[in-house]
Structure 1
Amino acid sequence: MENNLFPLDDTIHVGNDQVSAFRENGHVLIHEILKPEELSYYRNVIKKAAYQYNTEKRDLKDRDTYGKAFLQIMNLWQTDKEVRRFTLAKRFAKIAADLLGVENVRIYHDQALFKEPGGGFTPWHQDQYYWPLDTSKTVTMWMPLIDIDEEMGMLTFASGSHTAGFAENIPISDESESTLQQFIERNNFPVTRAKTMKAGDATWHYGWTLHTAPGNSSKDVTREVMTVIYFADGAHITEPQNKHQENDRQTWLKGLAAGQLAASELNPMVK
């Protein structure tokens, strides 16, 4: 099949109610972002690349909490030209820009998150804990490539938690689970999640929105999810506040110094 059959360079209208819900709650679910034929094609592309470049070889039982949560394969767009068309899709970037209220967005990185059957829970965390960026206009698209329900590890949000900014200087871990759960309870943030999502639907959440996911209690189905992270064009790099931000500065921002524009070759402008 010719690659140009599924370019994903058209746009989808995001309603004012969806934008308002996103900015108020810190997350929103948007249905049917991919058509069935597009989904079928890109699922095969992403799944093939994810397993080809997966470096996790340990049995599930031998991993720590983070390792049990999912197989995480990052920046596939740099290693697979077909995944590149998905990650750099104008259709997704336009949604990101509209939700954030900006003209243009750049890619931070993509990542496949495959939660295996029996895979563990994903502890409470904030994505932007890892990002040395001076903007709160960041958003993650989280798209299942198969139909999923609550039993398979549905993304779960603390609504309104994005307004708190940097909650705790803590990575995804058992410690973040307990500490951030207490933070959520103290601030009375409602915890919500969808009961089901169809393949090709996607949730979108701010980088500061606290979120988690239960384990995959399915016996034989892997929860296949692809994510893309966007940030507003014009953002600058900040001085890293922890070792993970320093790692991200070196890895996803090509070692650019604090104060420089976050615009390395790994952060192309896509809208």
Structure 2
Amino acid sequence: MSGVEGQLKAFRQKVAVINGVPGVDLLDDNSTFCRKFNTVKKCKAVLGDSLPFLQYFNVWQEDEVVRGLSTSPELAELAGSLMGVKRVRLYQDSLFLKRVGDGCTNYHSDLRMAPFDTNDMITFWIPLIDIPLQGSALVFVSGSHNDLALNFWRSRKQVAKMDLSNRYKDRENHHMPLSVGDITAHSGWVLHSADGNPGPKDRLALAVSYVSADAVIRKGWDKFEAGHEEDFASYGSWVKDVKVGKIIKDNHPRVPVISFPSERYQ
């Protein structure tokens, strides 16, 4: 995909998320939505200055260097070790471009946007430029993936209206400054965010996400919540291949199981 095509796809994805456009329309170049937003200029006219970042999904499918990293046995083994599972599946990678002037990324958890019924998900966040102490790398709420009470005793609408600053007081952590070659890892339910980018350089980072190879597709994956349908641009092309409650085949070309030899699990 050319740079122009990739940029248009990234801008369309943001328009779709912000305006609640059905994901299927985003994936169909002949849809009314794609015909309407057929240039970056038209997308920008709708988005204005509200963007937190641009996101390019599944670069590994087109770029040999990124493919070598995302499908590497070493990274897969590390993901398996952190999740405590013997076999892992590459879910997606995402190239994040936070341009100078882009705003903050709100707190969210990755599994909320994924089509899996599992707790086993690890994302590696890899900066592609040096990020200073006051930069825009990820900020994590440590232990938030264990906060079962938050959603158990409240509806999603109630949680969305809550001020969680006191609940998670003094639990925000980051690992800045970061250098090229560093890597952070977070669980799929960990809340994380990022500050806006004041400059002087655009921030570029690659996120690579793995799930357990035995993760099944959840019921209701197509019932999108406002603001949580962001990943459909990544998984929409393959999720209908798999029945709800079923495991994806090992050799699926878009979400493959990554083999790794390890004495850890012998």
Q: Do both proteins adopt the same fold according to a TM-score greater than 0.5, normalized to the shorter chain?
A: yes
Aligned-pair Cα RMSD in Å: 3.1
The answer to whether the Cα contact below 8 Å between 1:73 and 1:111 also exists between their aligned partners in 2 is yes
**Cα deviation, residue 202, structure 1:** 0.9
Aligned length: 216
* Partner SS state of residue 68, structure 1: coil
Q: Give the one of 262, 265, 269 matched to 2:248.
A: 262
Supply the distance in 2 between the matched residues of 1:50 and 1:160 (Cα, whole angstroms).
39
The answer to whether the Cα contact below 8 Å between 2:140 and 2:174 also exists between their aligned partners in 1 is yes
Task: Determine if the alignment matches structure 1 residue 235 to structure 2 residue 215.
Answer: yes
Superposed counterparts of 1:1-271, under 5 Å: 53-55=6-8, 56=11, 57-58=40-41, 63=47, 68-164=51-147, 167=151, 169=156, 179=161, 182-183=163-164, 185-186=166-167, 188=169, 190-219=171-200, 221-240=201-220, 242-243=223-224, 244=229, 247=232, 250-263=236-249, 264-271=252-259
Instruction: For residues 11-67 of structure 1, give each alpha carbon's deviation from its aligned partner in whole angstroms, at most 9, with x where no partner exists.
Output: xxxxxxxxxxxxxxxxxxxxxxxxxxxxxxxxxxxxx987772323358786267x6
Supply the distance in 2 between the matched residues of 1:169 and 1:81 (Cα, whole angstroms).
40
The answer to whether the Cα contact below 8 Å between 2:135 and 2:177 also exists between their aligned partners in 1 is no
5+ residue gaps in structure 2? 12-39, 260-266
**Cα deviation, residue 186, structure 1:** 2.7
Supply the distance in 2 between the matched residues of 1:268 and 1:185 (Cα, whole angstroms).
41
Higher deviation after alignment, 229-238 or 82-91? 82-91
Higher deviation after alignment, 111-120 or 255-264? 255-264
Supply the distance in 1 between the matched residues of 2:230 and 2:216 (Cα, whole angstroms).
14
Supply the distance in 1 between the matched residues of 2:6 and 2:254 (Cα, whole angstroms).
18
Instruction: For residues 66-124 of structure 1, give each alpha carbon's deviation from its aligned partner in whole angstroms, at most 9, with x where no partner exists.
Output: x6111100011122333221211122111111111111110111100011111110011
The answer to whether the Cα contact below 8 Å between 2:141 and 2:168 also exists between their aligned partners in 1 is no
In 2 relative to 1, CA 254–266 (structure 1 residues): closer, same or farther, beyond 3 Å? Answer: farther
Supply the distance in 2 between the matched residues of 1:257 and 1:149 (Cα, whole angstroms).
45
Instruction: For residues 193-223 of structure 1, give each alpha carbon's deviation from its aligned partner in whole angstroms, at most 9, with x where no partner exists.
Output: 123011111110011000000011113x111
The answer to whether the Cα contact below 8 Å between 1:89 and 1:270 also exists between their aligned partners in 2 is yes
Supply the distance in 2 between the matched residues of 1:155 and 1:246 (Cα, whole angstroms).
18
The answer to whether the Cα contact below 8 Å between 1:233 and 1:269 also exists between their aligned partners in 2 is yes
Tell me the TM-score normalised to structure 1 length.
Answer: 0.69
The answer to whether the Cα contact below 8 Å between 1:141 and 1:228 also exists between their aligned partners in 2 is yes
5+ residue gaps in structure 1? 1-47, 171-175
* Partner SS state of residue 67, structure 2: helix
